[in-house]
Amino acid sequence: MNHPILVAASDIRSVLKGVAGANPTFMSTSEKAVALRELVAAEAQLVELRLRVLADAGDLADATGAKDAAGWLAHQTRARYADARADLALAGALDRERPVLAVGMREGAVTLAQAHVIRRALDALPVAVDADTVDRAEAHLVGCATEFGPKELGRIGRRVLDVVAPEIAEAAEAARLADLETAAADRTRMTMRRQGDGTTRISALVPDAVATRLATYLEAFANPRAPHAKARDDAEGARTSDVVTRLPYPRRMGEAFARFLETVDPTRLPVHGGDATTVIVTIPLASLRAELATADLIGAGLVPGDDLTGDRITASQARRLACTAKILPAVLDGTSLPVDLGRAKRLFTPAQRKALLIRDRTCRAEGCDTPGTWCDAHHLDPWHTGGPTDLDNAILLCPHHHHRAHDTGYRTDRLPNGDLRFHRRT
């Protein structure tokens, strides 16, 4: 006689085949709502049954030579091994340690995603927390699953002791965070590798507090929305009040990271190589004055990987950095000897910046309303051709238009009101 679980599996597939041709188009709105809720609950019940079998499938792995039941399942069902491993860990927890969570799934009240979050939250509780408190935490989280999704459950799980055991919550949380901080410090890593296409991939694993601090700094460099700005038509013809084109968030944060590094004050960095830590750009005087030329960043070989591009930048980029970044431009004569190692005269002072903000208020590119606090001070008469670092020779430009001002692919015209108009060269 077939096992009841096999009979149930066969019956479920048979029922599903019976509705394979059913068209939900003809269902009413209320019927669709009921169907979706019932199907999600049924899916949770079916998953719990699958996990129950998986938890007891160690003998299947032994019989087939698989590493474990998750390995057998991933191979036989073409599932992702990581997903199968996570399901196996959850299955073991439901079978041995989390009976309330198992009942919640069996009744269709807890989905698979919620169950994974609840298990991780309970496993993250400090080892000093007694079993009775853990049981109460499990019951509380399962009860919350009827109202909250996985993301909200994760937040509740991090503070569940405040609800079920407030008398020990603070000390337990402090102990847990101390353990996490120690582990995070041990795992902290950062790697850089040239990609050979002009970009370098940066990968880092850092403590949460460091990541939060970096994200806070980078957000300060991301262009803000300006709700008071004049509405304009976007690419799809929709009206928008955003003066800055909305870029994807990763793109905005990448550009913010570049801006953040440009503003780092080298005088506050450790002494390195017997001198103040300084990024140096070397460029021949003729190249500095040319439209199309290149410059070198001192530091070649610091980043591993493809060396086709290395640490070379365009002369226009070097000129832009000389306007704003705390980078030392080393201008070389015909024999490659330095003829100028200064930078103070190239950078506008804080007082000048304030005066420019009072005068210009916003980016002075035609049609741009980016706030002046987010703009760079740009030399109208370029520094590399002898232009002074004076207010009469300065104008505020947002990062986008500052790049345009130094881009040889664009021509710049000064309008009667003092704004700049950019034209792509043909």
Q: What is the pLDDT of residues 25-78, one digit of tens each?
A: 999 999 999 999 999 999 999 999 999 999 999 998 888 888 899 999 998 999
CA-to-CA distance for 96 and 51, rounded, in angstroms?
Answer: 12
- Alpha carbon 149 to its chain centroid, in Å, reads 22
**pLDDT higher than 50, residue 218:** yes
pLDDT of residue 241: 44
**Residue 80: both structure tokens together:** 């992702």
Contacts of 377 (CB under 8 A, 6+ apart): 323, 324, 348, 352, 353, 356, 394, 395, 396
Domain coordinates of the chain in residue numbers? 27-186, 199-263, 266-346, 348-424
Q: What is the pLDDT of residues 249-286, one digit of tens each?
A: 788 888 888 888 877 776 777 755 444 555 666 667 66
- Does the CA dihedral 216-255-258-366 come out positive or negative? negative
Residue 133 β-bridge partners: none
CA-to-CA distance for 103 and 51, rounded, in angstroms?
Answer: 12
Letter string b/e over residues 311-320, b meaning 16 or more CB atoms within 10 A of that residue's CB: bebbbbbbbb
pLDDT over 70, % of the chain: 76
Residue 297 β-bridge partners: 281
| Backbone torsion region of residue 267, taken as left when φ is above 0, otherwise alpha when ψ lies between -120 and 50, otherwise beta | alpha
C-beta of residue 292 within 8 angstroms of C-beta of residue 229: no
Contacts of 123 (CB under 8 A, 6+ apart): 93
DSSP 8-state symbol, 126: -
pLDDT of residue 16: 93
Q: Which contiguous run of DSSP H or E holds residue 366?
A: none
Residue 362 β-bridge partners: 371
Q: Which of 414, 408, 421 is nearest to 365 (CA)?
A: 421
- Does the CA dihedral 414-420-421-422 come out positive or negative? positive
| Mean pLDDT lowest among 126-140, 218-232, 234-248 | 234-248
pLDDT of residue 374: 80
Q: What is the DSSP string of 217-256?
A: HHHHHSPPP-TTSPPEE-TTS-EE--SS----HHHHHHHH
**Banded pLDDT at 415 (limits 50, 70, 90):** very high
C-beta of residue 283 within 8 angstroms of C-beta of residue 305: no
Q: Which of 320, 279, 335, 329 is nearest to 405 (CA)?
A: 320
Contacts of 86 (CB under 8 A, 6+ apart): 116
Residue 284 β-bridge partners: 332
Q: Output phi, psi for 271, to 5 deg.
A: -65, 135
Q: What is the pLDDT of residues 161-190, one digit of tens each?
A: 999 999 988 888 777 777 777 888 888 999
Which residue shows structure tokens 């740009």?
Answer: 378
